Structure 1
Amino acid sequence: MTTVEDRRDAAATAPAHPLDMTTATEVDRVREALTGAGLLGETVRFAFFAPEEPAKDEVLAQPDGAPVERRFRAVLLDLASGRSWDTIVSATRGEVLSRRELDPPREGQPPIIDAEFEMIEDVLNADAGWVEALGKRGIEPASVRAVPLSAGVYDYPDEVGHRIVRAFGFRQDHAKDSPWAHPVDGLVAYVDLTDRRVTRIVDAAELPVPATSGNFDDPAVVGPERTTLKPIEITQPEGPSFTVEGNRVRWENWDLRIGFNEREGLTLHQISFDGRPIVYRASVAEMVVPYADPAPVRFWQNYFDCGEYMFARYADSLQLGCDCLGEIHYLDAVIADDFGRPKTITNAICMHEEDYGVLWKHSDMFTGVRETRRQRRMVFSFFTPIGNYDYGFYWYLYLDGTIQLEVKATGIVFTAAYPEGGNEYATEIAPGLGAPYHQHLFSARLDMTVDGVRNVVEEVQAERVPMGERNPYGNAFRQRRTRLTRESEAQRRADGSVVRAWHIVNPERTNALGQNVGYALLPEGKATLLADEASSIHARATFATNHLWVTRYDPAERYPAGDFVNQNPGGAGLPAWVQADRELDGEDLVVWHTFGTTHFPRPEDWPIMPVDYTGFTLKPVGFFDRNPALDVPPTRGAHCHSGGQDVHGPAKEGSGDGR
């Protein structure tokens, strides 16, 4: 029961906006409410914790200064029994608003938590089959680091309803040795997390443990460091051009709010330009990493890093000069640990602005005008390690109204032994060491509000015109536009051969030319999910089979593979929602975009992988009446000189535009 003092304390720390960042006080109040309701016993842990954001219409109708009720979703897991509960708690009132027990065979399991990862080596080393398998390979169990991984759903009736992981071993020769260099291949253990026992050992082959070193921080491996790189200093002597008030950021014509939760990581809210809304909420709502090796010990390797691991729990505390360069503003992020206690990730989010080359330029042969303006972008980023990989997420806002997401993948490729006869599903990256082929597929959830809540989506692409009476010389091509009016029509793939894009348009707003205002989603158009249509991973990651899905807004539809991805049998999320085949024309829409990379590892990816890039762009199309960056002033200072010199004459010293 909440007391008068509790309510006073809550009011004193109450957020000013329903989308404010989570505070430590709120985490404490959620835990206290769950304890008071008898839901937190000795063996019960938090498997998930995040703000339960109000519905869009509630937020948009919220008057400034009105009281804000803060609600949070907490998924609880009893380690002793395996039972779990999905709860909604009001931190404002200190009350549990709803609770229900999950049905794992039908819904899936809560994500795997730290307490479960930490016990795996003890469970394995207590199993006679595991110890025997290592012994016949001449390996001491104490030297093996276990890597427990999400199990997926396969034809194992004894796993239904049980929390299962599958574990590989990697030998570590000393405390500073990278185990990833020494996979104990041909061997995998299936582990029941609730019973804390090994249920099956698959010992398919005895392969030599690779002897190569993966110690990328060892001078003996790296060799002498370069001495030729000169310092680069990025300074803004007058300070940055952006302002931060709580989680609200204003930069040039942009205005938005920043959020963070353990499942999606960085989220952007209420993005507007010059007071005009564009995106209500943007996030990476899921990612899947399916592997290609069908070997008996590897066929199941498919990870949903958001839904199965809550990967943003492990976000790095970013460091100036290493992760971020320039005039930096950091935001901390507060999440909950396994016990429901607040955990602050210091410097979780990095904000800065950076030069991005030429914005626009022209040297005119008739007027003699010679003008250059430099592009600049606002950067919002966070980085998170999850197992062997490290992922960086960088949202960019540009002076010309462009929005872009870039994902950076680095870290260490997942390794396997590479047999003498070769492996058609892997690359040899070092002597005797292989890296299986795999994909990194992300789903961006883009809750669009292009100049208002009612939008439409049009597929726009080039169309060749056959030679004939209206095209006698065969040079003609035109633009073809197809409106996607129902969810069944709005499941599309990119096609770079006709520069296919998707325009999110407001049918109720026009620009000065009478055109409907809009933003274009420009895809990279790389491969979608390559697994067979009959496969388990296809059923569980159906979102990754199309580059585009469009759904009617529903505040409960948040994650494209469903709320509970771990050991979910499939069909949840997007494939379930679109069965309603809702009308899309002029409605409140959510655009889901699949993007990512297909990785055939290279020797150059070892022992640590240079960053690989993927992402997409949202670009204004008729949203403005003309170039919105005409008012960007020329660069002032000693590094740029201009002044309308004859474009055919010699360039003045120092007039380079420094791309």
Structure 2
Amino acid sequence: MSTALVRTTHPLAPLTADEIDTAREVLAGEGLVNDSTRFVYVGLEEPAKAAVLGHKDGDDVERRLRVLLLDRATGLGTDTVVSVTQRSVVTSTEVDSTADGHVPILDVEFEDIESFLLESPDWLAAMEKRSIDPSKVRAVPLSAGVFGHEDEVGQRIVRVLAFFQEDCADLPWAHPIDGVVAYVNLTERRIAKVVDEIELPVPAERGEWNAAPHASAPRTDLKPIEITQPDGASFSVHGNQITWADWKFRFGFDVREGLTLHQLSFADGGVDRSVIYRASIAEMVVPYADPSPVRYWQNYFDQGEYLFGRYTNSLELGCDCLGEIQYFDVTIADESGKPRAMKNAICLHEEDYGVLWKHTDMFNGMTETRRSRRLVISFFLTIGNYDYGFYWYLYLDGTIEFEAKATGIVFTSAYRGEDGYSTEMAPGLGAPFHQHLFSARLDMAVDGSVNAVDEVDAVPVPMGPENPWGNAFRAQKTRLSKESDAQRLADNLKARVWHVTNPTKQNRLGQDVGYALHPEGQPVLLADPASSIAGRAAFATKHLWVTRYADDERYPAGDFVNQHPGQAGLPAFVAQDRSVDGEDVVLWHTFGLTHFPRPEDWPVMPVDYAGFKLKPVNFFDRNPSLDLPASPTKHCCAD
């Protein structure tokens, strides 16, 4: 067996098919794979930050993969790390399903659930009572959560809601069979329980976007918009490194986190100045507000429970992306541990973004306008009923923005009336109130790894000798010195932002260089603090957490979210109460949507948006976009 290290371009280079094949072969050779074993997760085990920062071109790199395995026959999960360069298993640990939760849910575990329903006398009785043909019932298996049910402890469970489908073109989401739910034991491959609360009418109106009688012919009054760049795009790509204007960064892809950005820097005076070491959306949760006996448990962690990156769309020019596009394929592992290529998974392009700066001066006759543009790197996925787009934007003035786009079809129920917890979308069709809450993990590196965080509020100055007319206000800064202090809520009434500064670096005016996190300030988790979901999604109870960097602190809800009892991830990290003043710090930012569905969201929801911005504050000596040329006169018009 060879133990020589292989050369690769960079420690953060994307996974290859050969590496996935090697990992599978090594695990099989060590007896960790049998006929009932499935590969749940295969991802790059990123080297320690110090090793990445110290890497030089041509250096040898050891490549390690983290692999989660599930033995479907026993329900046992195994957490392994494989060195594909050394062709050896580095670590292998059995997952304690009682204390630590279960590995994520597999697609293959969903495939036979409708057949389980057809074998359940209780389920068939529930359908017969409703005069529903069981063969026309579509099962929607969903993560179970943890609610103190003793018979579920240590068991691998999902809960199943059902929808009626009249024919192959019918949209099942339009016909929820509400009032009944099945609990499925995935290991024993059987229905463990059926809860039949109440008989509710199944909404009858069809829900396809072009279904009669509401369908209309496509309009013909909109003229084409063409996006052209005759001289090509302004970015350059070398492997997984992208350079655009003054920006430079690497990108990666992980089936749990999706698109990841690494080592973002901005060239200033010929020097690449670091801003962020690693940026990702590390978790999301979709908690529902319906407390009924058949729906109280609806809380989905689309990343930690489902590994949503597996459902990435292959993007299409002219539909998903427009203009001078570069696509990137992504290689992941399927549930047999074999490589699977996802074509056109990531889209890179530039967009015009209106006016960047402009002034017409009354004194010196200055008349100058510069147009803004932004670099966009994105991916889109479909998970169940919802579709999500994840977009990172880089701007010429040093701004970084993230935007989540939510669309698709709202999850439906029967409508129980105005005093219930849903909106009526069509006759008898409800859409429960819910939230989409995301956690951005921002491993900051503002001009280096020594950073501090200040909460900055706009506060009025009381009237008095120093403010006799009462008009004064100022920026009040509060240093977040320890992890116990750095669990914060946004406050839009105070224009609250958080400054990440480097106290060892100053601009020409003597100000600490920094970047400001601008939150949208929408609600955090609305569930009761004593609820199960508040314990399991504790990250979503605050807009901001600041922690000191640790290599093994990757996920805000913990490593194993599926049926974890709670308090993993950020609550465990901050229990150490480490200093975050002048340290290597990570910001965890909660943002998202609180969705009271509207009839206008049916049958397909127009895109709704959520996100945040990072803007330079004292990072530059002055506006960094002053070097932009004026637009060619042939593109401008004046009378």
Which bin holds the TM-score, normalised by the shorter protein? over 0.9
Question: Residues 87-143 of structure 1, C-alpha deviation per residue, up to 9 Å, x if partnerless?
Answer: 000111221111010101100100000110112111111111111111111111110
Please point out which of 595, 598, 601 is paired with 1:599: 595
1:256 is paired with a residue whose SS is strand
**Hey, what does 1:339 align to over in structure 2?**
336
**Hey, what does 2:352 align to over in structure 1?**
355
Please point out which of 192, 197, 215 is paired with 1:199: 192
CA RMSD after TM alignment = 1.1
**Hey, what does 1:589 align to over in structure 2?**
585
**Hey, what does 1:646 align to over in structure 2?**
none
Please point out which of 284, 291, 315 is paired with 1:318: 315
Mapped pair 1:501 → 2:494: no
Mapped pair 1:243 → 2:236: yes
Mapped pair 1:95 → 2:67: no
1:485 partner amino acid: S
Please point out which of 627, 634, 637 is paired with 2:630: 634
Alpha-carbon distance, 1:47 to partner: 1.2
1:299 is paired with a residue whose SS is coil
Please point out which of 290, 293, 298 is paired with 1:296: 293
1:364 partner amino acid: D
Mapped pair 1:514 → 2:510: yes
1:577 is paired with a residue whose SS is helix
Q: Give distance in 2, aligned partners of 1:117 and 1:512.
A: 60
2:575 is paired with a residue whose SS is helix
Alpha-carbon distance, 1:216 to partner: 1.1
Q: Give distance in 2, aligned partners of 1:218 and 1:208.
A: 21
Question: Residues 47-81 of structure 1, C-alpha deviation per residue, up to 9 Å, x if partnerless?
Answer: 11111001111100112210111111001000001
Please point out which of 33, 36, 40 is paired with 1:47: 40
**Hey, what does 2:460 align to over in structure 1?**
464
Please point out which of 18, 26, 31 is paired with 1:25: 18
Q: Give distance in 1, aligned partners of 2:58 and 2:111.
A: 45
Mapped pair 1:258 → 2:251: yes
**Hey, what does 1:649 align to over in structure 2?**
none
Q: Is the 8 A contact 1:487 1:581 kept in 2?
A: yes
1:116 is paired with a residue whose SS is coil
2:201 partner amino acid: P
- Unmatched 5+ stretches in structure 2: none
* Pair 1:220–1:26, CA change in 2 (3 A): farther
Question: Where do residues 284-433 of structure 1 align in structure 2 (5 Å cutoff)?
Answer: 284-419=281-416, 421-433=417-429
Question: Residues 590-647 of structure 1, C-alpha deviation per residue, up to 9 Å, x if partnerless?
Answer: 0000000100000000000000000000000000000000001111152215xxxxxx
Mapped pair 1:148 → 2:129: no
Question: Residues 487-514 of structure 1, C-alpha deviation per residue, up to 9 Å, x if partnerless?
Answer: 0000000000010000000000000100
Q: Give distance in 2, aligned partners of 1:312 and 1:219.
A: 35
**Hey, what does 1:487 align to over in structure 2?**
483
Q: Is the 8 A contact 2:210 2:216 kept in 1?
A: no
Mapped pair 1:66 → 2:66: no
2:613 partner amino acid: T
Moved more, 373-382 or 207-216: 207-216
Mapped pair 1:618 → 2:614: yes
2:402 partner amino acid: L
Q: Give distance in 2, aligned partners of 1:467 and 1:184.
A: 62
Q: Is the 8 A contact 1:127 1:198 kept in 2?
A: yes
Question: Where do residues 206-225 of structure 1 align in structure 2 (5 Å cutoff)?
Answer: 206-218=199-211, 221-225=214-218
1:244 is paired with a residue whose SS is strand
Task: Count matched residues.
Answer: 635
Q: Give distance in 2, aligned partners of 1:260 and 1:204.
A: 43
**Hey, what does 1:562 align to over in structure 2?**
558
2:176 partner amino acid: P
Q: Which runs of 4+ in 1 moved over 2 A?
A: 217-222, 421-424
Q: Is the 8 A contact 1:204 1:297 kept in 2?
A: yes
Q: Give distance in 1, aligned partners of 2:35 and 2:307.
A: 23
Mapped pair 1:474 → 2:470: yes
2:305 is paired with a residue whose SS is coil
Alpha-carbon distance, 1:222 to partner: 2.6
1:482 partner amino acid: T
Please point out which of 162, 182, 186 is paired with 1:169: 162
Q: Is the 8 A contact 2:203 2:414 kept in 1?
A: yes
Q: Give distance in 2, aligned partners of 1:111 and 1:71.
A: 21
2:420 is paired with a residue whose SS is coil
Q: Give distance in 2, aligned partners of 1:389 and 1:462.
A: 38
Q: Give distance in 1, aligned partners of 2:206 and 2:528.
A: 36
1:497 partner amino acid: L
Alpha-carbon distance, 1:15 to partner: 2.6
Alpha-carbon distance, 1:282 to partner: 0.2
1:565 is paired with a residue whose SS is coil
Q: Is the 8 A contact 1:425 1:437 kept in 2?
A: yes
Q: Give distance in 2, aligned partners of 1:399 and 1:218.
A: 45
Q: Give distance in 1, aligned partners of 2:85 and 2:229.
A: 41
Q: Is the 8 A contact 1:546 1:594 kept in 2?
A: yes
Q: Is the 8 A contact 1:213 1:221 kept in 2?
A: no
1:18 partner amino acid: P
**Hey, what does 2:181 align to over in structure 1?**
188
Q: Give distance in 2, aligned partners of 1:456 and 1:482.
A: 11
2:159 is paired with a residue whose SS is strand
* Pair 1:189–1:562, CA change in 2 (3 A): same
Question: Residues 389-445 of structure 1, C-alpha deviation per residue, up to 9 Å, x if partnerless?
Answer: 0000000000000000000000000000113x4443110011100000000000000
2:231 partner amino acid: E
Q: Is the 8 A contact 1:215 1:221 kept in 2?
A: no
Please point out which of 214, 222, 227 is paired with 1:229: 222
1:132 is paired with a residue whose SS is helix
Please point out which of 8, 30, 48 is paired with 1:37: 30
Alpha-carbon distance, 1:335 to partner: 0.7
Question: Where do residues 514-553 of structure 1 align in structure 2 (5 Å cutoff)?
Answer: 514-553=510-549
1:131 is paired with a residue whose SS is helix
Please point out which of 433, 436, 442 is paired with 2:438: 442
Q: Give distance in 2, aligned partners of 1:221 and 1:101.
A: 54
Question: Residues 158-192 of structure 1, C-alpha deviation per residue, up to 9 Å, x if partnerless?
Answer: 10001000000100110011100000000100000
Q: Is the 8 A contact 2:2 2:86 kept in 1?
A: no
Q: Give distance in 2, aligned partners of 1:104 and 1:256.
A: 38
2:20 partner amino acid: V
Q: Is the 8 A contact 2:232 2:324 kept in 1?
A: yes
Q: Give distance in 2, aligned partners of 1:15 and 1:443.
A: 31
* Pair 1:197–1:423, CA change in 2 (3 A): farther
**Hey, what does 1:277 align to over in structure 2?**
274
Q: Give distance in 2, aligned partners of 1:222 and 1:105.
A: 51
**Hey, what does 2:116 align to over in structure 1?**
123
Q: Is the 8 A contact 1:415 1:435 kept in 2?
A: yes
2:347 is paired with a residue whose SS is strand
2:635 is paired with a residue whose SS is coil
**Hey, what does 1:110 align to over in structure 2?**
103
Alpha-carbon distance, 1:84 to partner: 1.1
Q: Give distance in 2, aligned partners of 1:343 and 1:423.
A: 48
